[in-house]
Copies of this chain bind each other. A is one copy, B any other.
């Protein structure tokens, strides 16, 4: 069945993230066959990973099976198909995607047009000890792993007699003051001041021990100055020790070692300080920027390969002379634009240049506290938080997921309760 037997041209989309899914929606019902390839069988809503890590929502509720997404598009999506496989290479001359399917099946999948949207991975910038000692937050498994670890640290601390050792287990460092670091640090502080303080009365937790380290001169680079100051003030009010100008030189089991020699003690260090393009781009021989992003033409076509498009975190696209950040909104717009470019080629037209429509940016800090820049306007506090909730529910795929996440948020809001306090055990064989 792996041969493409249709008479219509075939588009292969690599990656079922924001870029891939929104491209697929654009291509549903068009006069071509579309195959989405992903190593997972589900699209994951990565902006809420930090909520999985802090016991607020179930990992299943921020994941939407790709076959379900296709089904929910209705009959017009009959030209869409899915393949759960790991992409091993691309033969650009023969126009073949080489992939390994389930049970080790070798797949050679011919395409007429290819959209590469494999996303990004954590960038440690070569900082010693990060790979061995720090947690990361780039996919569902890492989020569940961090959740398990936070809860297990408290279970361990509860039975540690030595006061210093106990305190060490209860101290957490988040490295990186971008949206992910800010949201995670705030949610961790709320988890510890709420549900975990009540779960562990004998520990007598006075305030959470969460430190947020940012190498630059302030949190949330790229946001308006007022919002950056507000975020810092709010995080501090939640009990987070915010430290700017604190560059991490290495990570050990003792904690984060700063440039200058200071040690910020913590048994747990979470690294959210950087992302880079999926290494697959370089492996495929595409021209890449130093951060691993593949260089694209203004039309999002790969250089020298007009039938290959790039979208999402893997794609080096610019806006107002600067590279776009690796956020969801650029990925969504690029995915749509790349799909439209393919449709234009199918119709005998040339693709148009991509122009990013900057709607703005947002980050949440805690209950009733968020920062939003909307075009030229910026606001914060409750209205920003409500808008953050609405936007995230809107882009979360699946009615049921929205309902369940909203229910969890309501419990969290009214009871300061985090319900998903489950330490899942290692599964040796799955």
User: A residues within 8 Å of B by Cβ?
Assistant: 1-2, 40-42, 58-61, 63, 65, 67-68, 71, 81, 83-85, 101-103, 105, 107, 139-141, 144-145, 148-149, 151-153, 155-156, 158-161, 169, 198-200, 202, 398, 400, 403-404, 407, 411, 419-427, 429-430
The interface residues of chain B lying within 8 Å CB-to-CB of A102 are: 152-153, 155-156, 159
Contact at A1–B159, with CB atoms within 8 Å?
yes
A-B contact pairs, 18 of them (CB 8 A): A41-B155, A41-B421, A41-B422, A63-B422, A67-B199, A68-B199, A83-B158, A84-B152, A84-B155, A85-B159, A101-B156, A103-B160, A141-B427, A144-B430, A145-B429, A424-B430, A426-B427, A427-B427
Copies of this chain in its oligomeric complex: 2
The interface residues of chain B lying within 8 Å CB-to-CB of A148 are: 430
Alpha-carbon distance A81/B203, docked complex (angstroms): 12
The interface residues of chain B lying within 8 Å CB-to-CB of A58 are: 58, 60-61
Alpha-carbon distance A407/B423, docked complex (angstroms): 24
Contact at A1–B107, with CB atoms within 8 Å?
no
The interface residues of chain B lying within 8 Å CB-to-CB of A65 are: 199, 421-422
Alpha-carbon distance A139/B61, docked complex (angstroms): 21
The interface residues of chain B lying within 8 Å CB-to-CB of A421 are: 41-42, 65, 67-68
Contact at A42–B103, with CB atoms within 8 Å?
no
Select A103's contact among B71, B156, B425, beta carbons within 8 Å. Answer: B156
The interface residues of chain B lying within 8 Å CB-to-CB of A71 are: 198-199
